[in-house]
Amino acid sequence: MAEKLALVGIGKIARDQHIPAIGANPDWSLEAAVSRHATVEGIDHFETLDALLETRPDITTVSLAIPPQPRFAYAAAALRAGRNVMLEKPPGQSLAECYALEALAKENGVTIFATWHSRHADCVPDLKAWLAERTLKKLTITWKEDVRLWHPGQEWIWEPGGMGVFDPGINALSILTEILPHPVHLSGATLEFPENRDTPIAARLEFADPSGAPMTADFDWRQEGPQTWNIEIDTDRGSARLSLGGERLEIDGALVKQGANHEYANLYARMAALVKAGESDMDLSPMIHVCDAFSLGKRVVTAPFHY
């Protein structure tokens, strides 16, 4: 029998990704939506999460597709009500919030899942398997996109807790922490803040690899024209290039796999498996890199940004 699920936050990502993925998975039945401004045809609508939790005790799982700033309060309420919780990335606006939610889930005997959709892109497992048999020599991440295209008019990303360019950049970090055969840590960062904003529009990161391999990430939200989501790797036995955010993989210059947009389908399949097993997945390694970047980063003030 399908688990009954409620989706909180009916914005662009919910309509483009969450709703189609839920509808295509027989393990889930979308029963309700929570939003102050939008509805989903054919299912119950609630303006507040409290109203949902009180009215629909039969709904076992809540998926949160809302900005990170209010997410802790929503997730905590759902967990205390005994509901499983699925968190859109990033899982919170601070590590302390995330650890507190993990503890709440355990205390209430329910599942919590910190999702990293780019980690579930089609070619990521292939690159991970390829790299596991080789010695890393160099890794370069280039993650550049146009904020006006992907976040039109969304002021929350420029406010404290919104993370700025790390909202997309954390996607690259989720892939990095998945494919590497060993952990790395941030050793330095430069963050560019528009003079009228509280979060960065660009970032340059450097990592300390145990074997000494140079490893950098370059994030920028000012890219116009073609968008760039690439990870390039040199090893002792060849090179690899992951592009399109994880949907295309080249080895030694030759295309070996071209995937499709299955990230959210894979996320909901993973959530279903966790619920059935009574387990949780709160891997916070991508978030740790972001928090370290804000801690270690040199701040550079740049031109003001306006939509």
157 in the same domain as 35: no
253 in the same domain as 210: yes
Residue finishing a domain among 114, 147, 181: 114
138 in active site: no
78 in the same domain as 48: yes
203 in the same domain as 138: yes
CATH number at residue 42: 3.40.50.720
The pLDDT score that the predictor gives to residue 284 is 98
Residue finishing a domain among 84, 114, 144: 114
pLDDT in tens for each of the 307 residues of the chain? 899 999 999 999 999 999 999 999 999 999 999 999 899 999 999 999 999 999 999 999 999 999 999 999 999 999 999 999 999 999 999 999 999 999 999 999 999 999 999 999 999 999 999 999 999 999 999 999 999 999 999 999 999 999 999 999 999 999 999 999 999 999 999 999 999 999 999 999 999 999 899 999 999 999 999 999 999 999 999 999 999 999 999 999 999 999 998 999 999 999 999 999 999 999 999 999 999 999 999 999 999 999 9
Judge whether 211 lies within some domain: yes
The pLDDT score that the predictor gives to residue 109 is 98
Judge whether 276 lies within some domain: no
CATH number at residue 246: 3.30.360.10
184 in the same domain as 40: no
The pLDDT score that the predictor gives to residue 210 is 93
The pLDDT score that the predictor gives to residue 5 is 98
136 in the same domain as 90: no
pTM of the shown model: 0.96
The pLDDT score that the predictor gives to residue 1 is 84
157 in the same domain as 250: yes
Residue numbers of the domain that contains 107: 3-114
137 in the same domain as 237: yes
The pLDDT score that the predictor gives to residue 291 is 97
Judge whether 150 lies within some domain: yes
The pLDDT score that the predictor gives to residue 288 is 98
252 in the same domain as 126: yes
135 in the same domain as 247: yes
Judge whether 284 lies within some domain: no
Q: Peptide bond before 90: cis, by omega within 30 degrees of 0? A: yes
86 in the same domain as 132: no
The two tokens of residue 22 are 């839920």
Judge whether 209 lies within some domain: yes
Residue finishing a domain among 73, 91, 114: 114
The catalytically annotated residue of 89, 106, 137, 144 is: 89
Domains identified in the chain, total number: 2
Judge whether 285 lies within some domain: no
